[in-house]
Amino acid sequence: MSRVLVVNSGSSSLKYAVVESDSGSMIADGIVERIGDDGGVPDHAAALQVVFDELADDMAGLVAVGHRVVHGGPDLYRPALVDDALIAKLEALSPLAPLHNPPALLGIEVARKALPDLPHVAVFDTAFFHDLPPAAATYAIDRDIAAQWNIRRYGFHGTSHQFVSERAAEFLGVPLDSLRQIVLHLGNGASASAIAGGRPVDTSMGLTPMEGLVMGTRSGDIDPGIITYLSRTAEMSVEDIESMLNRRSGMLGLGGEIDFRVLHQRIESGDPAAQLAYEVYIHRLRKYIGAYLAVLGSADVITFTAGVGENDAAVRRDALSGMSALGVELDEELNAERSKGARRISAESSSTTVLVVPTDEELAIARACVSVVTELG
């Protein structure tokens, strides 16, 4: 029995899960929110104590603690045992991911103190995309500056893109290495990837998780000129601009709402801002699908995953409508059905199979942990 506690520590929340890595069953999961807020818990150590209280007996028999770390930088991509040297490396990476890595480090530190006898393993969101082809990973900027500052496309949500692409092949009963896939991970954060034979060939997130698709609160792609223009003309500081692009843009910035269930209600009631936000979201998504069809030549599989991708039939329909000439056709009825498992939603006549595959990042992290621990003997 290999039970793993998976910790995903953000700046104001701590998500956790206890996963049975052999069977894949979720023993318990939850989230502690409003860390450092009035009415919440004071800090990450207190949040972890809440988790322990919640888990109680489910803590018995843990073999490892897995930590989701957003940015592994240029060198960290294999799941790694946490020791002081790794902590130092992660600290050095904080400037690359100032919003994400410091809270993950905090989570690691408090969990190591609380559970000193268990191995702790860091699993990186960038890992799967480490070997992106240079043409996809390289930004067309001054190459000396890029090299000096480790600027490249890193890609994020890698654990999910890898898990979902493997599950898609398994579901279809065909070898992973025979498939050209597009994976659309549409949650609050959102990213697309093109995967050929199980290897990533492109992905929409970049140096940071800000690039690419329109997200809950992030802009995705913008003209970099907007940043210099705001800095010079509106006298916004880099912190102001970064905060706007990360926390007050995307669906929230355009439509005042990040939850697609509410957004659809607003559109129904004739809210033009919500309507435009939705149209911008869909337009961007279609651009990436088109780009990745071209990058791959064509796709055997397009898979939707994460909160929006798994649940929002309208988004899936609008993302793929009018693409029959590209070999992509949904079955409206299958698309409208709901289920918890993996399922096909494309028409029989579609040469590209379209799937909905629930992601399970916790299970993927738990399995990565167990493989590290097993290697240790």
Give the shortest CB-258-to-ligand ADP separation in angstroms.
5
CB atoms closer than 10 angstroms to residue 368: 25
| Ligand-binding site membership of 310 (annotated) | yes
| Ligand-binding site membership of 167 (annotated) | no
Which two three-digit tokens encode residue 174? 């065909």
Whole-angstrom distance, CA of residue 219 vs CA of residue 93 = 23
Give the shortest CB-216-to-ligand ADP separation in angstroms.
6
| Ligand-binding site membership of 311 (annotated) | yes
Residue 61, H or E segment: none
| Ligand-binding site membership of 264 (annotated) | no
Question: Quick one: 306 or 368, whose CB is closer to ligand ADP?
Answer: 306
Whole-angstrom distance, CA of residue 121 vs CA of residue 140 = 35
| Ligand-binding site membership of 8 (annotated) | yes
Question: Quick one: 119 or 206, whose CB is closer to ligand ADP?
Answer: 206
Give the shortest CB-75-to-ligand ADP separation in angstroms.
26
Give the shortest CB-205-to-ligand ADP separation in angstroms.
12
Question: Quick one: 101 or 159, whose CB is closer to ligand ADP?
Answer: 159
Q: Positive or negative CA dihedral for 246, 248, 251, 252?
A: positive
| Ligand-binding site membership of 361 (annotated) | yes
Closest C-alpha among 231, 331, 218 to residue 284:
218
| Ligand-binding site membership of 20 (annotated) | no
Alpha-carbon distance values, 187 to 59, 83, 310, 316, 374 (Å): 29, 32, 9, 13, 32
Whole-angstrom distance, CA of residue 356 vs CA of residue 28 = 24
Show Cβ contacts of residue 247 under 8 Å, excluding neighbours closer than 6 positions: 217
Is 125 marked active-site?
A: yes
> Catalytic residue among 125, 202, 300, 312, which?
125
Whole-angstrom distance, CA of residue 197 vs CA of residue 211 = 25
Question: Quick one: 150 or 311, whose CB is closer to ligand ADP?
Answer: 311
Q: Do 202 and 132 touch, CB atoms closer than 8 A?
A: yes
> Which residues of the chain form contacts with ligand ADP (CB under 6 A)?
187-189, 216, 258-261, 306-308, 311-312
What is the DSSP code string of 119-170?
-EEEEETTGGGTT--HHHH--SS-HHHHHHTT-S---S-HHHHHHHHHHHHH
Give the shortest CB-366-to-ligand ADP separation in angstroms.
17
Show Cβ contacts of residue 172 under 8 Å, excluding neighbours closer than 6 positions: 179, 301, 353, 355
Give the shortest CB-313-to-ligand ADP separation in angstroms.
8
Residue nearest ligand ADP, Cβ-based: 307
Question: Quick one: 329 or 362, whose CB is closer to ligand ADP?
Answer: 362
Binding residues for Mg(2+): 8, 361
Binding residues for substrate: 68
Binding residues: 8, 15, 68, 185-189, 259-261, 307-311, 361
Q: Which residues are catalytic?
A: 125
